[in-house]
Every structure is written in structure tokens, then in C-alpha cells.
């Protein structure tokens, strides 16, 4: 693997929103959100370098991810630039006082053009499984989807994520026979592209931690991916 260099100017086209309290970035598929201890490139360190250069800061820089998305997933990742912002946003996330919209390109088509999916999920060995209520480690998972477009054997879905369980969207869509394109772990026939799958965190709505006004952040689809040109 070629050594990845954290160059602030390279991140600039991916910056979606920035002020003194928040930084939102359009994460590339295949990149970790945070340091995993493996030495692999991660978005948080890259964003910290961007802050250091853009704001001409010296010394330690406070920057923490408010939420994470899977390495294989692209789209909005929000960072807090102050401890106050992090505390307030974490509390809002815990209360589900936010709105997360994903776009998923799936193989096949759901039997209903829109629906609410409610399942119980458990996970081990880096995979989520649909299980029964009361099973060991079972957590309630809820999402709503609607079909935006269908082209051939693929369907583009908009997913309103209510809960944020491990691999939730991937497992729940696979459970209705519609695995996400490229997600071989959950039964997709199409292979991954550059370590990514066709799942994109398209929009995040949060309350600004100091202004307490809604902030809506949208991330364009990844450039150069054939999945998002349908």
C-alpha cells in the first residue's frame, strides 16, 4: 500500500460545512472515519490537518467525530471542533434529535416501493444478523425507505435512518432480498469498487451546538463511480 499523506489542500474539495464549532466532510468510500490503531488512513486525522493549515493553528488541535460511518460507505461525516460542541451534539445524537438520510443502490427491487423496516439485530465477527427480540445482544433497528429510481436490475433507495445499529442498513436491506451493490459480505453479486459499496450518507440535519438552529448538510455522490450515474 502506498503511504497516504495528509495534505490539507486535497481535503478542501470534500469540505461540506465549516465554522468555529463544526466541520463536515464528504468521506470517500474505503477510508476509515477514525484511527483504528492499524495505521491505515483515516478521515479524522486528515480533517485535523486541514484545520491546522486552514486556521493557521499550532500545537494540539481539538477535533472529534460526532458519528462514524462504515469504512466502505461514503458521505457526510460531522466533526466537533470544540468540547462544548461535541458534548451537545453527542446528547442530540443520543436523543435522536437529528435526521440521517442515506442513498443506497440495491440489487433487485423491494416488493413495496416504500416501507418501514423494523428488525432486531445482533452482531459478531464484523457482521450484523437479523435475530429475534430477546436474543443475546439483540437491538431494535428501524429505518424507512422509498424508491427513487429503478434501472434494470438495480434500484436507488432513499433511506431515513431512525436508529444507528452496526451495519443496520446493509443487514436490513439484505434481509428483504435487496443487498447493496458491492456489498459481498451481505450477498451482493456486484463486487466492491475500491473498497466501497453503493451506500452514501447523503444528508445530515442537526441542531447547531451554539446557535441552536437547524443545519442541513448534503454530500454529492462520489465522483467517478459508475454506481451513481444511473
* DSSP assignments along 163-181, one per residue: S--TTHHHHHHHHTT-PBT
Q: What is the distance between the alpha carbons of residues 196 and 30, in angstroms, rounded to a whole number?
A: 5
C-alpha cell at 45: 486525522
Q: Where are the domains of the chain?
A: 8-229
Contact 53, 18 (CB under 8 A): no
d(C-alpha 99, C-alpha 7), whole Å: 31
Count how many residues are written for the chain.
230
Largest CA distance in the chain: 55
pTM: 0.94
Please state which CATH class domain 8-229 belongs to: alpha beta
Radius of gyration of the chain (CA): 18
User: Average pLDDT of the chain?
Assistant: 94
At 1 the pLDDT is 44
Rounded to an integer, the average pLDDT of 183-187 is 96
pLDDT in tens, 142-168: 999 999 999 999 999 999 999 999 999
Sheet strands (E) in 51-113? 64-65, 74-80, 99-107
Encode pLDDT of 58-111 as tens digits.
Answer: 889 999 999 999 999 999 999 999 999 999 999 999 998 999 999 999 999 999
Query: Does residue 207 surpass a pLDDT of 80?
Result: yes
Task: Determine the Cα angle at 229 with ends 224 and 230, to 5°.
Answer: 155
Nearest by Cα to 174 from 203, 143, 149: 143
Query: What value does the mean pLDDT take over residues 23-46?
Result: 95
Amino acid at each position: 500500500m502506498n503511504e497516504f499523506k495528509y495534505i490539507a489542500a486535497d481535503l478542501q474539495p470534500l469540505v461540506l460545512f465549516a465554522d468555529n464549532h463544526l466541520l463536515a466532510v464528504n468521506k470517500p468510500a474505503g477510508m476509515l472515519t477514525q484511527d483504528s490503531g492499524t495505521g491505515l488512513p483515516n478521515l479524522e486525522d486528515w480533517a485535523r490537518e486541514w484545520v491546522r493549515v486552514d486556521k493557521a493553528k499550532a500545537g494540539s488541535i481539538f477535533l472529534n467525530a460526532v458519528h462514524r460511518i462504515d469504512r466502505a460507505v461514503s458521505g457526510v461525516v460531522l466533526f466537533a471542533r470544540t468540547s462544548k460542541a461535541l458534548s451537545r451534539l453527542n446528547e442530540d445524537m443520543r436523543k435522536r434529535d437529528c435526521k440521517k438520510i442515506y442513498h443506497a443502490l440495491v440489487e433487485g427491487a423491494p416488493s413495496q416501493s416504500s416501507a418501514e423496516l423494523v428488525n432486531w439485530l445482533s452482531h459478531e465477527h464484523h457482521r450484523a444478523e437479523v435475530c429475534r427480540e430477546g436474543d443475546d445482544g439483540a437491538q431494535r433497528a428501524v429505518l424507512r425507505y422509498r424508491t427513487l429510481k429503478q434501472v434494470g436490475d438495480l434500484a436507488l433507495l432513499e433511506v431515513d435512518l431512525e436508529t444507528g445499529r452496526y451495519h443496520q442498513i446493509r443487514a436490513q436491506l439484505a434481509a428483504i432480498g435487496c443487498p447493496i451493490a458491492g456489498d459481498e459480505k451481505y450477498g451482493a453479486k456486484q463486487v466492491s469498487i475500491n473498497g466501497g459499496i453503493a451506500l452514501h450518507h447523503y444528508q445530515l440535519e442537526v441542531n447547531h451546538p451554539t446557535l441552536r438552529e437547524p443545519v442541513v448538510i448534503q454530500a454529492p455522490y462520489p465522483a467517478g463511480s459508475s454506481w451513481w450515474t444511473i
